[in-house]
């Protein structure tokens, strides 16, 4: 007499379907601040353009204007500060 022992199969528990929610790293306010910072940087570089001379033997004093020496670097620096703030700002979880 041979008795074979029946091995029970493992019971598989039914799991509810896992839904994957995609969450962005930043909130909408962060992205707005990032775009504003990029606009400041872009505007600062645009204000720095020009002031050169077509003739290399002639010096043009326009390269030392207030716009190129003071205003443009301030805008670029402000843009970078806004970018850092936008990255470091925590999003409000609601």
Q: What is residue 1's predicted lDDT score, i.e. its pLDDT?
A: 60
Answer for the pair 75, 40: CB distance below 8 angstroms, yes or no.
yes
Answer for the pair 37, 86: CB distance below 8 angstroms, yes or no.
yes
pTM reported for the whole predicted model: 0.70
Instruction: Return the structure tokens found at 52.
Output: 């050169």
d(CA 43, CA 35): 12
Q: What is residue 26's predicted lDDT score, i.e. its pLDDT?
A: 86
Q: What is residue 43's predicted lDDT score, i.e. its pLDDT?
A: 97
- Per-residue pLDDT tens digits for 43-94: 999 999 987 778 888 888 888 899 999 999 999 999 999 999 999 998 776 5
């Amino acid at each position: 007499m041979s008795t074979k022992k029946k091995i029970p199969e493992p019971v598989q528990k039914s799991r509810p379907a896992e839904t994957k929610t995609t969450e962005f790293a930043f909130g909408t306010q962060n992205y707005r601040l990032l775009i504003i910072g990029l606009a400041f940087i872009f505007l600062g570089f645009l204000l720095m353009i020009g002031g050169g001379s077509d003739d290399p033997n002639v010096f043009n004093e326009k390269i030392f204007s207030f716009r190129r020496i003071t205003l443009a670097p301030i805008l670029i620096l402000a843009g970078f500060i806004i970018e850092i703030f936008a990255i470091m700002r925590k999003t409000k979880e609601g």
